[in-house]
Amino acid sequence: MSTPIPQPPGVPLLGNIFDVDPANTWWSLKTLAEKYGEIFSITALGHRIVFVASAALAEEICDEKRFRKFVGGPVVEIRYAVHDALFTAFDHEESWGIAHRIIAPQLSTEAVGGHFDAFLQCTDELLAKWHGLGDNNKIQPLSDLNRLNLEATTLTLFGKKLNCIEGADHPMLAAMENSTSEAMKRPTRPGFLNWLVYGSKFKKATKVMRAYAADLVKYRQEHPTDQHDLLWSMLNAKDPETGKALTESQVIDEIVSMPIGSSTAPCAVTASILFLLQNPDVLAKAREEVDAVLGEGPFRQEHVPQLTYIAGVVRETLRLSSAAPGFNIEPIPKEGDKSPILLAGGKYQVAHNQAMIIVLPGVNRDPAVFEEPLAFRPERMIGEAFEKLPSSAKKWFGNGKRECIGKHWAWEFLVITTAKLIRDLDFEAVDPDYKLKQDGWFNIRPIDFSVKVKPRAR
């Protein structure tokens, strides 16, 4: 006989809507995972959702022979802005395969490595800004790292310099936050409220994001280049299987999707700063490696794979910060078969069409996999120790064919930015007793975390 899946008590009609804070959904789910363990469920407005928070169960439901990405809830809502783009396409939609085959070659390890100089240029602009702050500064690093991410995404993928690291915030930053936060909240409200009260916010944010993308297309048309970057491929390449190209609307969909997807990267770098401040021994080892590999000379692309300890710092940050906090899974439908889906060898069972969400803050802290799971230990993310980890403990970029298409871009950004910050800057926590607190929508980020920054004392 199967074991009932734990669930908070809830209230009549409304279910568990008071157990999940719509303004901080992922922190609520992290808290529920800590209380209920490897699997739990909630109901909201009559809909049941099952959450998986252990490495073993995550491993099982990441089996692409039995399960697939579930496009529902907030992901369906964001289709208003980006339609059937890579992140939001349903499994049956042809558009996903067409876009993937056109875009993926431009986001391979080799292709991304070709943007090293552009990454470095953007990062150096941020460092110059921070060097010029003077001695009595106090900053929340996430704000400027979000600017850096938008600048680097736009330059490396779409070939245009935004110059948004200085000056007022680029409107795309607020629009991304407003659209994704609203997409997370809309499934928790009655539909008429979304239309009557909150619809204008969603529409305004979408208009701003699509204007950003349309401006990039127009800029390329007015400033043609022989550089065959991602934007060139989206505007000119054809799918090798179907011969189809992307429409202009689809190009705009994918342009909008890219900075939303890459917005997890500045969240992770901000968390790295926090973890390194809390672990000065780790910072010392990281600096020793950076100084040995880079020396006093220029940072070059060939240095990136040599920074093995920095790679461990990045992976351990992705584990503990869960900057991309989870993803949705559903059983692959079997025609005429509505029998329950058995998990953990029959210990649990769910309906044949039950949506499940992997809660990475639970999976990534699973004590069955990680000794002292709350400790920041880059050594466990290097070499043989890393290779021995189950694949479910490495799902920072999602799973299978629907994992993040920009994972190599994200890795380049994270390693370059982390190495440069360690090499060139000293940070001091404004509040030495600060404890990690996160909020966020399609990403989660440290909040109320402030530092003082100055050029590194050598």
Could you tell me if residue 6 is inside a domain?
no
pLDDT(190) > 80:
no
Residues 32 and 362: their CA atoms lie apart, in Å, by: 9
62 assigned to some structural domain? no
CB atoms under 10 Å from CB of 445, counted, come to 22
pLDDT value at 187 more than 90: no
Q: Helix (H, G, I), strand (E, B), or coil: what is residue 405?
A: coil
CB 112 within 8 A of CB 252: no
CATH number, domain containing residue 87? 1.10.630.10
Does residue 40 lie in a domain region? Answer: no
404 is in an annotated binding site: yes
Helix (H) or strand (E) holding 341: strand 341-343
Name the helix (H) or strand (E) containing 124.
Answer: helix 116-131
pTM for this one?
0.95
**By residue range, what is the domain housing residue 103?**
67-318+364-389+401-455
Q: Give a yes or no: residue 42 inside a domain.
A: no
pLDDT at 274 > cutoff 80: yes
Residue 58 forms part of a structural domain: no
- Residue 378 region, left (φ>0) first, then alpha (ψ -120 to 50), else beta? alpha
The answer to whether 264 and 324 have CB atoms below 8 angstroms apart is yes
* Beta-bridge partner residues of 47: 44
Provide the pLDDT for residue 282: 98
Q: What Cα–Cα distance (Å) separates residue 354 from each residue in 88, 279, 339?
A: 19, 41, 11
| Of the candidate ranges 15-24, 218-227, 389-398, 431-440, the one whose mean pLDDT is the lowest | 15-24
CB 305 within 8 A of CB 45: no
Distances in Å between the alpha carbon of 24 and those of 202, 301, 455?
18, 38, 35
Q: What percent of the chain is predicted at pLDDT more than 90?
A: 88
pLDDT band at 2 (very low <50, low <70, confident <90, very high): confident
Helical axes 407-424 vs 308-321, angle rounded to 10°:
110
Contact 256, 81 (CB under 8 A): yes
CA distances in angstroms from 187 to 17, 22, 28, 78, 413, listed in the order given = 11, 10, 16, 11, 33
Residue 149 within any structural domain of the chain: yes
Q: Is 350 inside a domain boundary?
A: no
For the chain, how big is the Rg over CA atoms in Å?
Answer: 22
Encoded tokens for 214: 């349309």
For the CA atoms of 27, 28, 34, 35, what is the dihedral angle to 10 degrees?
Answer: 160
401-455 per-position pLDDT tens digit: 999 999 999 999 999 999 999 999 999 999 999 999 999 888 999 999 999 999 9
**pLDDT of residue 157 exceeding 80:** yes
Report the run of H or E that residue 48 belongs to, with start and end: strand 47-52
Residue of higher predicted confidence among 142 and 18: 142
Q: Please tell me the distance from the alpha carbon of residue 157 to that of residue 106, in angstroms, as a whole number.
A: 8
Looking at the domain assignment, is residue 154 inside a domain? yes
Angle at 174 between CA 26 and CA 217, to 5 degrees: 115
pLDDT for residue 196: 72
The DSSP bridge pattern shows strands 356-359 and 326-331 to be antiparallel
Task: Say if residue 326's pLDDT is above 80.
Answer: yes
Domain count within the chain: 1
Looking at residue 186, what is its pLDDT?
84
